[in-house]
Amino acid sequence: MRGKLETPPAGYVAHKPDSLRTYLATKPRLALHLGGKPDDWTVEEVGDGNLNLVFLVHGPKGALCAKQALPYVRLVGESWPLPLSRAHFEHIALVEEAKHAPDLVPRVRHYDPIASMTIMDCLDGHIIMRKGMIAGRRYPLFATHIARFMAETLFRTSDLALTAAEKKRRVAELSGNVMLWKITEDLIFTDPYCEAELNRWTAPQIDPDAQAIRGDMKLKIAISELKERFLSETQAMIHGDLHTGSIMINAESTKMIDPEFVMYGPMGFDTGAVIGNLLLSYFSQDGHAKEPGARRDYQDWILAQIEAAWTEFEQRFLALWETAHAGDAYPKHLFADDAGKKAYAEIQRAYMRRLFADTLGFGGAKMIRRILGLAHVLDLESIADPDARAQCERRALNLARQLILERQKIASTAEVADAAREMLKK
Amino acid sequence: MRGKLETPPAGYVAHKPDSLRTYLATKPRLALHLGGKPDDWTVEEVGDGNLNLVFLVHGPKGALCAKQALPYVRLVGESWPLPLSRAHFEHIALVEEAKHAPDLVPRVRHYDPIASMTIMDCLDGHIIMRKGMIAGRRYPLFATHIARFMAETLFRTSDLALTAAEKKRRVAELSGNVMLWKITEDLIFTDPYCEAELNRWTAPQIDPDAQAIRGDMKLKIAISELKERFLSETQAMIHGDLHTGSIMINAESTKMIDPEFVMYGPMGFDTGAVIGNLLLSYFSQDGHAKEPGARRDYQDWILAQIEAAWTEFEQRFLALWETAHAGDAYPKHLFADDAGKKAYAEIQRAYMRRLFADTLGFGGAKMIRRILGLAHVLDLESIADPDARAQCERRALNLARQLILERQKIASTAEVADAAREMLKK
């Protein structure tokens, strides 16, 4: 389902480098940040995003990144309309995330609602994490950064941190971002499980796997139940697209970008996106190794990151529950005595257990859509040999299926890691 | 948590009989409906509701009921502020319900947003179902009526019937009704499980039971998990207060009234309210019987209504799923072949199973709050002898606890009926 092409508001101009330079020259704070005079600035449309215009602006003193929404998908054109309002919702998300994890998101310097444009600090010195992982790079702070980002943003926007009234206000505030979520609903939870026009995969190698998944009723029941949770659960404000392509990184710094799919939804959709995309990278490594097994150490590093990220996420989430619980869910005063404290620990264990099951389910869903659906990942796409690529993809599909179907049984990231290692032997 | 006392909008007047008569005289369609001249009309403030002003107006030709919100709880006064907006939300609910079950709700003739007043057809000839049940009356059409009301209103406002975009729009539309939900959150899911100021119960007889529940950690864990579902699940538009005091009834007709607690929430909160309140009536009957066991037949009738209502609800819900599925949840085209149809039946069984578990959980919660919390039910309150009342209440509490704790295990309303009968022997 695609909407109608929207007429932008009066004053909206899709920027080109020169018009953006002129625009920035009228904003004293931004001009000061760049330094020098407008003619000293270099403005470059990087065309990195699929959906939006992205410009990098460098001046003698500083650099900025301007992200502007078009009324359609940039990569496709006017035949795929997409509302400009996504810039508004993304801005809300960036501001909220910055309250809780200011060092882990790009700093917003300016937001222009008419232009549907956000101007942020440039992330020079960072690269897209997905690309770094294809090159086999390690990021020693990644696990602790992503764990803190997820714990802070998910806990503090949930019914554990907010009053019901405040949370419902925020649910309503974001409720118009439906065209973005429709993309997720179709491309993640529906299309890969049927013969959809937009699907593509490594053919003919993966044909039998794609067909098997289209005929796998247990899996289709499970994915449909996950879709229902995605449609009706308002557990927390989620980033909504938290894969390794939405993470800019280097050895010291990690920035989570592009939250335009922001919504109130199940926390496991974010935590699952992270784990699912790390697993995609894991399985892709054999396709990038110069000789068989040459990336085993790196693959072990990836699995260690999954374990570390989840473990620290859980610890931080529970620590926030200890220190920052001010919401209406799970009122602590019902559990004040010694027996109550034991019971409350049981509540927390059950909560994290449910969240882990969601993580595995949504994580598996994210993996499958990247192999059988419209949007693929560079980790796998950049493997030139289709036979080698197909082998990586088949392993990823099989693990993903296992994560979804056994999401209630798998008890730990260690079990996930074991299952991933086993899959490499097949 | 109580809000601030709101200043009504300019033009708002809390009506008295005479001002309402004058008001109605200015509305030609309403005046025509009443017939005769304003002086021919009788206007009576019935004071039936706890929260609002309710007037009955009778003219030579017709009768009307005017329900006006005050900026506070009518029964308590200005010390308990309550937003006028509840009239707005109730009006939305009445209009939506009328689309799907027009014969089962009062017909709305007029809505005045400034006065926060809805004017409906008078339900002469109906009585509050709770009162009828105290008198031991049977309503042969009740089960089929309530089943149809619940199936129609819940299915057609869910992700099974609506696109995600339309459902999210409606979630947002109702999202301001938070002060009403706060009452539910506190009085149903929190207060009865701790020493809360507003709690009351049959003392000293029920003291040990109240204390046992405050110390029952398994129950408090379960009630807190149900509260979380109430806070974050947006499964369907629910009435939000669907007890036997919100049902006006006679032998031929059933009308569900007072949906001012309307929200997007778990369907089981409505279905549970119905079953929980029927069970409260069931246990109260011994307190009204002229001699021991004199109401056994009537009690069996009540249990039969629970079974009939759930069975027909389930049938109708599944029939709508067959004929009126147009929503984004559980897309049928993924399950088009023979194996798919079997799998889809499994999806539906699992859905109804989860809904039944919610029904039992929320139903039990509704029973406990009526015995240990602020708001009690006439079924039990009208039992003059406190020992007799306490015996009824204890049985109800014990069954309620069982329903909540075993909500995943109890498989049918027949099992609920058996457990209820067993409880009478204790």
Report the CATH number that the domain containing residue A138 is assigned in CATH.
Answer: 3.90.1200.10
B99 with B161, same domain? no
Contact B231 A176 (CB under 8 A): no
A163 contacts in chain B (CB < 8 Å): 1
Q: Quick one: pLDDT at residue B299?
A: 98
Contact A347 B181 (CB under 8 A): no
A173 with A111, same domain? no
Considering the domain boundaries, does residue B5 fall inside one?
A: no
Domain encompassing residue B33: 17-121
Task: Provide mean pLDDT across the span A22-45.
Answer: 97
**Nearest-CB residue to B346 (from A165, A181, A221):** A221
Contact B159 A228 (CB under 8 A): yes
Q: Is the pLDDT assigned to residue B49 strictly greater than 90?
A: no
Q: Which of B121, B138, B163 is the last residue of a domain?
A: B121
Q: Quick one: pLDDT at residue A76?
A: 86
Contact call for residues A261 and A269 (beta carbons, < 8 A): no
Q: Which of B69, B99, B121 is the last residue of a domain?
A: B121
Contact A330 B165 (CB under 8 A): no
A192 with A44, same domain? no
Using 50, 70 and 90 to split pLDDT, how confident is the model at A14?
Answer: very high
- Percentage of chain A surpassing pLDDT 70? 99
Q: Is the pLDDT assigned to residue A113 strictly greater than 70?
A: yes
Contact A231 B329 (CB under 8 A): yes
Contact B165 A179 (CB under 8 A): yes
Task: Write b or e for each residue in A325-345: b if 16 or more Cβ atoms lie within 10 A of its Cβ, otherwise e.
Answer: eebbbbbeebbeeeebeebbe
CA dist A110 and A20 (Å) reads 13
Q: Quick one: pLDDT at residue A45?
A: 95
Q: Is the pLDDT assigned to residue A283 strictly greater than 80?
A: yes
Considering the domain boundaries, does residue A282 fall inside one?
A: yes
Task: Write b or e for each residue in A284-303: b if 16 or more Cβ atoms lie within 10 A of its Cβ, otherwise e.
Answer: bbbbbbeeeeebeebbebbb
Structure tokens at A405: 């179907």
Considering the domain boundaries, does residue A12 fall inside one?
A: no
A331-372 residue pLDDT tens: 999 999 999 999 999 999 999 999 999 999 999 999 999 999
Considering the domain boundaries, does residue B89 fall inside one?
A: yes
B269 with B220, same domain? yes
Considering the domain boundaries, does residue A4 fall inside one?
A: no
Report the residue of A182, A230, A231 to disrupt the B interface, i.e. the one with the largest count of B CBs within 10 Å. A231
Q: Quick one: pLDDT at residue B1?
A: 52
Contact A328 B215 (CB under 8 A): no
B198-235 residue pLDDT tens: 999 999 999 999 999 999 999 999 999 999 999 999 99
A181 contacts in chain B (CB < 8 Å): 164, 168
Q: Quick one: pLDDT at residue B75?
A: 84
CA dist B235 and A232 (Å) reads 6
A414 with A328, same domain? yes
Helix (H) or strand (E) holding A265: strand A263-265
Chain A: nearest CA to B44, how far in angstroms? 36
Contact call for residues A327 and B221 (beta carbons, < 8 A): no
Considering the domain boundaries, does residue A419 fall inside one?
A: yes
B193 contacts in chain A (CB < 8 Å): 334
B261 with B385, same domain? yes
A158 with A115, same domain? no
Task: Provide mean pLDDT across the span B128-132.
Answer: 97
B311 with B400, same domain? yes
**Nearest-CB residue to B334 (from A190, A235, A340):** A190
Report the residue of B180, B228, B237, B353 to disrupt the A interface, i.e. the one with the largest count of A CBs within 10 Å. B228
> Does the bond joining B204 to the residue before it have cis omega, within 30 degrees of 0?
yes
CA distances from A191 to A2, A188, A206, A243, B264 (A): 15, 7, 16, 19, 28
B267 with B385, same domain? yes
Residues paired with A66 in a beta bridge: A55, A119
A167 contacts in chain B (CB < 8 Å): 231
B31 with B131, same domain? no
Task: Write b or e for each residue in B301-329: b if 16 or more Cβ atoms lie within 10 A of its Cβ, otherwise e.
Answer: bbbebbbbbbebbbebbbebbeeeeebbb
- Sequential DSSP letters for B249-301: E-SS-EEE---TT-EEE-THHHHHHHHHHHHHHHHHHHHH-SSTTTTHHHHHH
Q: Quick one: pLDDT at residue A271?
A: 98
Angle (nearest 5°) at CA B41 between B38 and B42 = 140
Q: Which of B70, B96, B121 is the last residue of a domain?
A: B121
Considering the domain boundaries, does residue B330 fall inside one?
A: yes
A291-327 residue pLDDT tens: 999 999 999 999 999 999 999 999 999 999 999 999 9
CA dist A199 and B20 (Å) reads 63
Chain A: nearest CA to B344, how far in angstroms? 8
Q: Is the pLDDT assigned to residue B3 strictly greater than 80?
A: no
Contact A217 B182 (CB under 8 A): no
Q: Is the pLDDT assigned to residue A46 strictly greater than 80?
A: yes
B384 with B247, same domain? yes
Task: Provide mean pLDDT across the span B11-18.
Answer: 96
CA dist B225 and B361 (Å) reads 10
User: In chain A, how many domains are there?
Assistant: 2
A221 contacts in chain B (CB < 8 Å): 343, 346-347, 350
**Nearest-CB residue to B194 (from A179, A333, A342):** A333
User: What's the pTM?
Assistant: 0.97
B273-332 residue pLDDT tens: 999 999 999 999 999 999 999 999 999 999 999 999 999 999 999 999 999 999 999 999
Of residues B138, B105, B103, B94, the one with CA closest to residue B278: B138
Going edge to edge, which strands form the sheet with B108-112?
B42-45, B52-58, B63-69, B117-121, B108-112
Chain B: nearest CA to A227, how far in angstroms? 7
Q: Is the pLDDT assigned to residue A1 strictly greater than 70?
A: no
Contact B1 A163 (CB under 8 A): yes
* Higher-scoring residue by pLDDT: A408, B75: A408
Using 50, 70 and 90 to split pLDDT, how confident is the model at A395?
Answer: very high
CA dist B378 and B383 (Å) reads 8
Q: Quick one: pLDDT at residue A50?
A: 80
Considering the domain boundaries, does residue B352 fall inside one?
A: yes
Chain B: nearest CA to A178, how far in angstroms? 5
A347 contacts in chain B (CB < 8 Å): 221, 224-225
Mean pLDDT (chain B) is 97
Q: Quick one: pLDDT at residue A3?
A: 77
Residue A109, SS3 per DSSP: strand
- CATH code assigned at A66: 3.30.200.20
B300 with B364, same domain? yes
